[in-house]
Structure 1
Amino acid sequence: MNTYGLTGRIVTPGSPDYDLAREEFNTRFNLFPLIINFCETTKDVSNAIRWARKKRVKFRIRTGRHSYEAYSSLDGGLVIDISELNEVKVDRKTKTAVLGAGALLFPLYEKLYEEGFTIPGGTCPSVGLSGLTLGGGWGMLTRPYGMLIDQLLELEMVDANGNIIIANKHKNEDLFWASRGGGGGNFGVVTSFRFKVVPVNDVAIFKITWDFKGFEKVVDAWQKWAPHTDVRLTAIIDLLTKDIGELRALGEFLGSTDELEKLLEPLLIAFPPKEVEVKKVPYIDAVKIFGGMMPGMMEYAVNHGDPDAHPFKNTGAFAKRQLPISAIKKLKEFLSNSPSIENKVQLQALAGNAACIGPTETAYVHREALFSLLYITKWENESEADINTRWVESLRNSLLPYADGAYVNFHDNCVNNWLEQCYFVNLPRLIEVKTKYDPKNVFTFPLGIPTANMIV
């Protein structure tokens, strides 16, 4: 116990590691919490919530620090950080695993891979499991195995009163429904998950690069192919700026390289590629490749902060139908007139087994989407922030006739009807669950789900 009455590891402005402890992945934000409480047990989380309520201190919940708008931190308040709740327990017999909600993806993937398994999570190595899961979760295994939440069996949560509760299909089932796509920070602090895990060994991967001149033909061919190809294959495509002058498609396939090469033919005939690479690799190597990992990256992050941290403004949408050529030309126009050479648009193939569950069966409503669009801008100098932020928001708005909706894990405070865009038909039920489990709105942040009495 410390002088604050909190348990776990405490970091304050006077601590030597305070600046490292307060750093956000999005360095556009420079926040100064009063206390950062690194919880080492579920009891620490419970104590933190009770303490914050008793002292009337504002708080936020943090795992991997990847909130696009830095809503997992705040000035002058308490940050409840669960990143040290990262234990991994695999039951090979039942093909299930109990995973600490604070686990970061790459160390988690490594531990699961040692046991011969994985989960269909995301690609960024330093994303936290809790936020990723609660928002839905997708990555390079989405089409064969569905969203990450589709493998979720149970969770342990600390509620607004500091009590530890369990949610699954039989106990607190409304909370379990809401926690599969309703987003982190709304209902309580998840401390552990129980997942079905999937066996994995080697995978086939590909990378195809085209010149920017093939933009319309390549994008059109990709969208007609990626959501509809063999369900064992999940693909993304990065649309880079005209100044870089390239389009890059990548993917992961649960099959042989010979099969993969045949499946890629619609892309190869769309426009002559500059480079084609197809190979078989151990699954954990594919994780490193798609995560853009440098050797020693995670070890460096522990002592020096995330080497990938940078200032950015990202946003996104979903395409339920194929983009018309006019929309593809809009994408090309924006990328031809980008204020930063590093800006890009990434399309992620969905459908497959992600679409086998109905939009209201879980809180994640975007089941009918063919693919997602992530609009990405980043810059070097602070003076470039405004022009790039305007660029990315204008891009999303221009494409709204063709791609709408919002992914709760892509926080964007410039979307006026954020809650409706995130949840559509599921919003009323989410408000009911919020009101039941957190009637006093203890868990609050600017884009959070409101209680019923907050709605005018």
Structure 2
Amino acid sequence: MKGALHMNTYGLTGRIVIPGNPEYDLAREEFNTRYDLFPAIINFCQTAKDVSNAIRWARKKNIRFRIRTGRHSYEAYSSLDGGLVIDISEINKVEVDHKTKTGRLGAGALLFPLYEKLYEEGFTIPGGTCPSVGLSGLTLGGGWGMLTRPYGMLIDQLLELEMVDANGNIIIANREENSDLFWASRGGGGGNFGVVTSFLFSLVPIKRVSVFKITWDWDGFENVVDSWQKWAPYTDVRLTAIIDLLTEDAGELRALGEFTGEKGELRQLLEPLIKAYPPKVVEIKNIPYIDAVKMFGGMMPGMEEYAVNHGDPDAHPFKNTGAFAKHQLPKEAIQRLKKFLSNSPSIENKVQLQALCGNAACEKSTDTAYVHREALFSLLYITKWEKHSEANINIRWVEDLRNSLLPFADGAYVNFHDNCIKDWLEQCYFFNLPRLIKVKTKYDPEHVFRFPLGVPVDNS
């Protein structure tokens, strides 16, 4: 690491941060603070040309590098010790064309500032909820959130992208030009084929939405989970719902959702869920869309300003993983969920189910690299802790939980990196994997873009 302090950065452009700079510790911070990595150079690129220069510099110097946007890689694969981090978070320009209802969005944009800018223009995109997630990683993995069922996956609104390839060339991919790369970039995952610097999206006009929150005592676990899974994937397509299954010590179950219709209509749609088991709280309201963004993102006043000066206030140590349910969970699976949440080593652990179907299933599983079109809902298994000594027991808990549910929910979401899944590539892509490897080999034959869970090249 000492040698890295004197590494010659001549040839790199944009904002350069190296060890010893006052901003270095903030610049190297990961959202998952379980990892404490020390890059030799962090290159905050501000243009596609900066990215091109960085790739060519890294290849010339034979220095390992990673691509980073929002720092949310679950296994911190967007950073590394002793190498170059190509950070595109400052490529965040937003251009809206009201006539065509499209937006050319900088790939480095973080979600909450992006949602704010789009909302000022009367639009949004059907992206995720976490405010500091980067647009590029979210999109390239597929992308879902609280507008998924009415508008599909985020990639379903994608029209075109600009990418810097393995040779440092700036190329375009859409349905006509480099169409195979465009296919792969819709669900193939970030960091595999090149560095995306901008996206062209169809935008969704939006003003207000109706939202709900229902809370139950933990005693209603089986009834509530079963009723939710029989309702959420099949209800009105304008409604996307999630449910948080908390631990027995936390003592609650919470369902939340967003509806693009009126409050009264939402109340009627919720009746099957409300009747499942007597709720403690039922909240339904109609609010400006940007307020819903803040609500689902857990935004607190002053959070953005704090992040600029001190880092992401939500950053913490964790281990998350996930799967997809193509069929409703039988009683045995729900009981396994309950057992794990009854014996959780941390009160903060939980399982979150996200309803899919609707327009998330509007494409065939082979139409995009994102393959999980037939899933009724996703399962996100979440564990976090405070003391370092608590890490191993919580990591074992979440991995054992996923393995226990595999007979009922399998597959993996490329944006939920999990280095404990031995057949990771097959679980992410299933029958789309051979085609992805072919595209990877065509556009990156020397395997310039690589990380432990990345798409390989065909060396045969």
TM over 0.5: yes
- Rounded to whole Å, the distance in 1 between the matches of 2:369 and 2:227 is 31
For the aligned residues, what is the CA RMSD? Answer: 0.6
Which residue of 2 is the match for residue 378 of structure 1?
384
CA drift at 1:3:
4.5
1:226 aligned partner, one-letter code = A
Q: Equivalent of 2:33, from 16, 27, 38?
A: 27
Residues 82-139 of structure 1, C-alpha deviations (whole Å, 9 max, x = no match): 0000000000010000000000000000000000000000000000000000000000
- Rounded to whole Å, the distance in 2 between the matches of 1:392 and 1:291 is 23
- Rounded to whole Å, the distance in 1 between the matches of 2:244 and 2:10 is 48
Q: Equivalent of 1:163, from 156, 169, 176?
A: 169
Q: Equivalent of 1:350, from 345, 348, 356?
A: 356
Which residue of 1 is the match for residue 149 of structure 2?
143
Which residue of 2 is the match for residue 223 of structure 1?
229
Q: Equivalent of 2:399, from 358, 381, 393?
A: 393
Q: Write the mapping of 1:197-208 to structure 2, written as runs, cut at 5 A.
A: 197-208=203-214
SS at match of 2:392: helix
Which residue of 1 is the match for residue 5 of structure 2?
none
Which residue of 2 is the match for residue 305 of structure 1?
311
Q: Equivalent of 1:43, from 32, 39, 49?
A: 49
Q: TM-score, normalised by structure 2?
A: 0.98
Q: Write the mapping of 1:95-106 to structure 2, written as runs, cut at 5 A.
A: 95-106=101-112
SS at match of 1:452: coil
- Rounded to whole Å, the distance in 1 between the matches of 2:263 and 2:106 is 35
Are 1:69 and 2:80 counterparts? no
Which residue of 2 is the match for residue 114 of structure 1?
120
- Rounded to whole Å, the distance in 2 between the matches of 1:85 and 1:295 is 25
Are 1:232 and 2:247 counterparts? no
CA drift at 1:298:
1.5
Which residue of 1 is the match for residue 130 of structure 2?
124
- Rounded to whole Å, the distance in 2 between the matches of 1:40 and 1:11 is 14
CA drift at 1:5:
2.0
Q: Equivalent of 1:448, from 451, 454, 458?
A: 454
SS at match of 2:127: coil
Q: Equivalent of 1:244, from 227, 242, 250?
A: 250
SS at match of 1:50: helix
Which residue of 1 is the match for residue 442 of structure 2?
436
Q: Equivalent of 2:158, from 124, 130, 152?
A: 152
1:396 aligned partner, one-letter code = R
CA drift at 1:4:
2.8
1:35 aligned partner, one-letter code = I
1:155 aligned partner, one-letter code = L
Residues 181-203 of structure 1, C-alpha deviations (whole Å, 9 max, x = no match): 00000000000000000100010
1:136 aligned partner, one-letter code = G
Residues 239-297 of structure 1, C-alpha deviations (whole Å, 9 max, x = no match): 00000100000000010111000000000110000000000000000000000111111
- Rounded to whole Å, the distance in 1 between the matches of 2:126 and 2:9 is 42
- Rounded to whole Å, the distance in 2 between the matches of 1:424 and 1:163 is 31
Which residue of 2 is the match for residue 419 of structure 1?
425
Q: Write the mapping of 1:242-321 to structure 2, written as runs, cut at 5 A.
A: 242-321=248-327
SS at match of 1:277: strand
- Rounded to whole Å, the distance in 2 between the matches of 1:318 and 1:120 is 20
CA drift at 1:300:
1.0
- Rounded to whole Å, the distance in 2 between the matches of 1:122 and 1:325 is 30
SS at match of 2:43: strand
Counting aligned pairs with the same residue, the percent is 82
- Rounded to whole Å, the distance in 1 between the matches of 2:361 and 2:135 is 22
- Rounded to whole Å, the distance in 1 between the matches of 2:332 and 2:300 is 38
- Rounded to whole Å, the distance in 2 between the matches of 1:236 and 1:83 is 29
- Rounded to whole Å, the distance in 2 between the matches of 1:72 and 1:3 is 20
Are 1:177 and 2:179 counterparts? no
Residues 389-415 of structure 1, C-alpha deviations (whole Å, 9 max, x = no match): 000000000000000000000000000
2:16 aligned partner, one-letter code = I
- Rounded to whole Å, the distance in 1 between the matches of 2:45 and 2:253 is 43
Residues 337-361 of structure 1, C-alpha deviations (whole Å, 9 max, x = no match): 0000000000000000010100000
Which 5+ residue runs of structure 1 have no aligned equivalent? none
